[in-house]
C-alpha cells in the first residue's frame, strides 16, 4: 500500500501530521510537493516570502535525501494534474494532506478532493485549534478575542509526534526552481536577515529562550530585538505550533521560581494566530469586505492608491514626515520585517490618518512581509 503525502505549508518531517498518519498506516509513503504555477503568478506574492519559502523547501528536500530510502518528490505545474500523474506512476491508494484555510487553498483542495478517484484524508496541523473547535456557548464562532483566548488555554493540546519508519519508492523528482525562474529578484538594497528552513527554525527557538521570560516587558518597544521572529517559520511550517507551545511549557517548568508571565504572554500570540485563522474560515468575506456586518454598508470613502499617488508613495517610501511610521516602512522595505507594535501603528496611520483603502494596504503588506499571513493581516487591519 502506497500513500501520497501532499506537502504544502508543513516543510518538515517531524510532527507533520499528515506524514505521521500516513507512516502509521502505509509501508510506502511518498512526500510530494507541487510548485503551484497559479499560486506563483499571484501579484501579491513578493520576494521576501518566496525566498524564505524556496530556501526552506530546498533544505527540506536535501534533509530528506540524506536519510536512507527517503526523498521529497518535487514537481512543478497544476496541483490536480501533478497529483493525478504521481498517483498513476506510484499506483497509490490514498492521498494525505494537512488542511489550509485561505480562500485559494480551500477552493484548490475542494477540487482535488472532488476529482481524485482515491480516498483523500485531511488533517489539522497548521493550528492548535481550527474552524469550529472553539465556539461560544450558543455554538457560534467567537468575534471577540479575549473570550476565545480563555477557552483556547483551557483546552487540552496535542503534543508533537514523530513519524514511523517508511520507504519511498523510486519516483522521478525535479529540482526546486530558482527565484529567477519563478520571476522574482531581490529589490535594490534589500538586506536578508533570515535563516529559513528547519534548522533555522530550531535555532530561533533556542535563541528566543533567552528572551522569552522578559517578553511581556520588552515586546512593546520596537527598538528592542525582543520578539521571537518565528512567524515565517510557522507560516511555512519549518516548525510546528505544537513544538513551540510545548517548548514554552517546558521553560515554565524549568523556571518555577521565576516570573513566567512573559512565557504566557508569548503563548497568547499563538492563540491570536488561531483566532485569526478561525475568523478567516468562518468569515471568508473579511478578505475583501469589513468583517463586521454593521460596517459593510457604512464604509468610509477611502482613497484608493491610484487616486492618491503622492500620499501613497510617501507612505510606502517612509517619507510621510512622521519618524516612527517612516522608520517602520523603511524597515519593511529593507528586510521584509516590521516589529509588531510598528505594524499596528503603521496600519492605523495608513487608514485613520491617510485614509488609504485598507485593501490596498493589505495587498502591499502581502507583497512585502516575509511572514505575510492573510488571516493575521486582515485581522490586524480590520
- Quick: pLDDT tens for 136-156: 999 999 999 999 999 999 999
Q: Is 33 exposed, middle or buried (0-12, 13-18, 19+ CB in 10 A)?
A: buried
Residue 299 has pLDDT above 80, yes or no: no
Average pLDDT over residues 288-302: 79
Residue 183 has pLDDT above 80, yes or no: yes
Helix 103-115 to helix 79-90 angle, to the nearest 10 degrees? 40
Which domains occur in the chain, in start order? 2-125 (3.40.50.620), 127-158+197-282 (1.25.40.80), 289-381 (1.10.579.10)
Which of residues 107 and 304 earns the better pLDDT score? Answer: 107
Number of neighbouring beta carbons within 10 Å of residue 296 = 11
Q: What is the pTM of this model?
A: 0.95
Q: Are 141 and 283 a contacting pair, CB within 8 Å?
A: yes
- Quick: pLDDT tens for 10-61: 999 999 999 999 999 999 999 999 999 999 988 889 999 999 999 999 999 9
Average pLDDT over residues 67-72: 88
Alpha carbon 289 to chain centroid, angstroms: 22
Least confident of 4-13, 149-158, 299-308, 363-372: 299-308
Q: Is 40 exposed, middle or buried (0-12, 13-18, 19+ CB in 10 A)?
A: middle
Average pLDDT over residues 349-371: 95
Rounded to the nearest integer, the mean pLDDT of the chain is 95
Average pLDDT over residues 166-184: 94
Q: How far apart are the first and last CA of the chain?
A: 48
Residue 344 has φ and ψ, to the nearest 5°, of -65, -45
Percent of the chain with pLDDT over 70: 100
Average pLDDT over residues 260-280: 96
Q: Which residues lie closer than 8 Å to 154 by C-beta, 6 or more apart?
A: none
What are the cell numbers at 336?
Answer: 521584509
Amino acid at each position: 500500500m502506497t500513500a501520497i503525502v501532499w506537502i504544502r505549508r508543513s516543510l518538515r518531517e517531524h510532527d507533520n501530521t499528515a506524514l505521521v498518519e500516513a507512516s502509521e498506516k502505509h509501508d510506502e509513503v511518498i512526500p510530494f510537493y507541487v510548485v503551484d504555477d497559479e499560486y506563483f503568478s499571484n501579484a501579491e506574492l513578493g520576494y521576501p516570502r518566496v525566498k524564505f519559502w524556496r530556501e526552506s523547501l530546498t533544505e527540506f528536500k536535501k534533509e530528506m535525501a540524506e536519510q536512507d530510502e527517503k526523498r521529497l518528490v518535487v514537481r512543478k505545474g497544476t496541483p490536480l494534474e501533478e497529483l493525478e500523474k504521481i498517483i498513476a506512476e506510484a499506483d497509490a491508494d490514498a492521498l494525505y494532506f494537512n488542511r489550509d484555510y485561505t480562500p485559494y487553498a480551500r477552493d484548490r483542495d475542494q477540487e482535488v478532493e472532488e476529482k481524485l478517484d482515491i480516498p483523500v484524508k485531511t488533517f489539522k496541523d497548521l493550528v492548535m485549534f481550527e474552524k469550529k473547535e472553539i465556539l461560544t456557548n450558543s455554538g457560534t464562532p467567537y468575534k471577540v478575542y479575549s473570550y476565545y483566548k480563555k477557552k483556547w488555554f483551557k483546552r487540552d493540546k496535542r503534543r508533537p509526534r514523530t513519524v514511523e519508519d517508511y520507504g519511498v519508492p523510486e519516483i522521478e523528482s525535479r529540482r526546486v526552481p530558482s527565484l529567477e525562474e519563478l520571476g522574482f529578484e531581490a529589490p535594490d538594497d534589500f538586506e536578508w536577515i533570515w535563516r529559513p528552513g528547519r534548522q533555522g527554525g530550531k535555532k530561533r527557538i533556542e535563541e528566543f529562550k533567552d528572551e522569552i521570560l522578559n517578553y511581556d516587558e520588552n515586546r512593546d518597544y520596537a527598538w528592542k530585538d525582543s520578539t521571537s521572529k518565528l512567524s515565517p517559520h510557522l507560516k511555512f511550517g519549518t516548525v510546528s505550533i505544537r513544538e513551540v507551545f510545548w517548548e514554552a511549557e517546558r521553560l515554565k517548568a524549568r523556571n518555577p521560581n521565576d516570573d513566567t508571565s512573559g512565557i504566557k504572554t508569548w503563548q497568547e500570540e499563538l492563540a491570536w494566530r488561531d483566532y485569526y485563522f478561525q475568523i478567516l474560515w468562518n468569515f471568508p468575506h473579511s478578505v475583501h469586505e469589513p468583517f463586521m456586518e454593521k460596517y459593510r454598508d457604512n464604509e468610509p470613502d477611502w482613497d484608493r492608491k491610484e487616486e492618491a499617488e503622492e500620499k501613497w508613495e510617501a507612505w510606502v517610501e517612509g517619507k510621510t514626515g512622521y519618524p516612527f511610521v517612516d522608520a517602520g516602512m523603511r524597515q519593511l522595505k529593507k528586510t521584509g520585517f516590521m516589529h509588531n507594535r510598528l505594524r499596528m501603528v503603521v496600519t492605523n496611520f495608513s487608514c485613520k490618518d491617510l485614509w488609504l483603502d485598507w485593501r490596498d494596504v493589505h495587498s502591499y503588506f502581502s507583497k512585502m512581509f516575509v511572514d505575510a499571513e492573510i488571516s493575521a493581516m486582515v485581522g490586524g487591519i480590520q
